[in-house]
Amino acid sequence: MTELSVVVPVYNEEAAIPPYLEAVREVLKKVTEDYEIIFAMDPSGDRTEEIVAAANARDPRVKLLKFSRRFGQPGAIWGGLSYSSGRAVIVMDVDLQDPPEVIPEMVRIWREGEYKVVIPQRRSREGDNIVKRIVAYAAYWFINKTATVEIPRNAGDFRLLDRKVVEELLKLKETNAFLRGLTAVVGYRYRLLPFDRKPRVGGEGKYFPLTGGIFIGFNGVIAFSGALLRLMTVAGFVMAGIAILGALFLLVGKLTGWYEFATGLATLAVLILFLTGCQFVGMGILGAYIGRIYEETKQRPVFIVERAVGFPER
């Protein structure tokens, strides 16, 4: 067993890998020489696989997992965790927005033995546009207001996990692996470590940074809270109340002579459209929960490895 594993999900990141390896190696050698860097790769159309394989030929501590198809970032992280052998595992992005300079402090806190999880928490979001910042703030606010577990605000998947935590995570059988929430589910004491987020290297993010973030956040809400279902019930009562008030309004209009105004087709059409829209929203929310149940009952694998470079035969 190695002391430290670093799991890095990648997809079409040929430009980011060389500067990442240079930066992270410089930091890791100050912490330990007993480490492994696992690039968990969705099939890419660029030279990502070739670059990582070449790095492995020069240094066997650099390893590659290539999946049989695109499973997405959560699946890639889960694959990396499953193949990791470190007594501690760090999950981080390849774009250097998760700064390697934070790693020594993360490892120091873990080595003290009081905390099994160390979670860097962003003090700033340099490089994120205003839309992404608003989406991130709204997502964290809503999840923490409704979730059954506490998920630290402004903390992504960048974190250090003790081997015991990793083993407990891998026992979970959820198809949609939302690491931030599942880390909270298994428990253990955690420590927040503030850091400043930097602009990414290697061009634009390849995991759809905005739409992907919205999807992951929505998945987190569905997985850890029934608040949207309760909200549907409340909305139903509100809509029923509006309908009753509308009926009373029409009745008063009829009795007082406001007939043409109170029963105008435009008013009726707006009301019908409003109620129909609410019904569709409710059906969509209900469908999301049912779809989640459907996915979980199938128990399909979170990842399938097509090629493993640098690992012993399994």
200 vs 2, residue with greater confidence: 2
Asked whether residue 213 is assigned to any structural domain, the reply reads no
β-bridge mates for residue 39, sequence order: 8, 64
261 vs 195, residue with greater confidence: 195
Q: Which of 136-140, 151-155, 210-214 has the lowest mean pLDDT?
A: 210-214
Q: Which domain, by its residues, includes 283?
A: 227-298
Task: Report the pLDDT value the prediction gives residue 263, as an integer from 0 to 100.
Answer: 52
Query: Whole-number mean pLDDT of the chain?
Result: 79
Task: Report the pLDDT value the prediction gives residue 204, as an integer from 0 to 100.
Answer: 58
Same structural domain, 257 and 180 = no
Check pLDDT > 70 for residue 273: no
88 vs 266, residue with greater confidence: 88
10 close to 37: Cβ distance less than 8 angstroms = no
Same structural domain, 130 and 255 = no
Asked whether residue 219 is assigned to any structural domain, the reply reads no
Q: Report how far residue 181's alpha carbon sits from residue 168's, in angstroms, rounded to the nearest whole number.
A: 13
Same structural domain, 172 and 247 = no
Highest mean pLDDT among 2-11, 116-125, 258-267, 268-277: 2-11
Asked whether residue 184 is assigned to any structural domain, the reply reads yes
Check pLDDT > 90 for residue 18: yes
Same structural domain, 193 and 237 = no
- Residues counted in the chain: 314
Alpha helices in the chain (DSSP H): 17-31, 48-58, 72-83, 103-111, 130-146, 163-171, 179-186, 211-224, 227-256, 259-262, 265-298
Q: Report how far residue 268's alpha carbon sits from residue 254's, in angstroms, rounded to the nearest whole number.
A: 15
Tens digits of per-residue pLDDT, 79-120?
Answer: 999 999 999 999 999 988 889 999 999 999 999 989 999 999
Looking up residue 78, the CATH number of its domain turns out to be 3.90.550.10
153 close to 122: Cβ distance less than 8 angstroms = no
Task: Report the pLDDT value the prediction gives residue 84, as an integer from 0 to 100.
Answer: 95
Task: Report the pLDDT value the prediction gives residue 3, as an integer from 0 to 100.
Answer: 94
Check pLDDT > 80 for residue 215: no
Q: What is the DSSP string of 204-268?
A: S-SS-TTHHHHHHHHHHHHHH--HHHHHHHHHHHHHHHHHHHHHHHHHHHHHHT-HHHHT-HHHH
Task: Report the pLDDT value the prediction gives residue 312, as an integer from 0 to 100.
Answer: 84
Please give the average per-residue pLDDT across 3-31, as a whole number: 94
Tens digits of per-residue pLDDT, 163-173?
Answer: 999 999 999 87
Please give the average per-residue pLDDT across 286-300, as a whole number: 69
Name the DSSP class of 199.
P
Asked whether residue 204 is assigned to any structural domain, the reply reads yes
Please give the average per-residue pLDDT across 2-24, as a whole number: 94
Task: Report the pLDDT value the prediction gives residue 210, as an integer from 0 to 100.
Answer: 47
Same structural domain, 187 and 114 = yes
Check pLDDT > 80 for residue 264: no
Please give the average per-residue pLDDT across 181-186, as a whole number: 82
Please give the average per-residue pLDDT across 284-304, as a whole number: 72
Asked whether residue 197 is assigned to any structural domain, the reply reads yes
Asked whether residue 218 is assigned to any structural domain, the reply reads no
- Dihedrals phi, psi of 41, to nearest 5 degrees: -115, 125
Check pLDDT > 70 for residue 28: yes
Same structural domain, 57 and 158 = yes
Highest mean pLDDT among 68-72, 150-154, 253-257, 272-276: 68-72
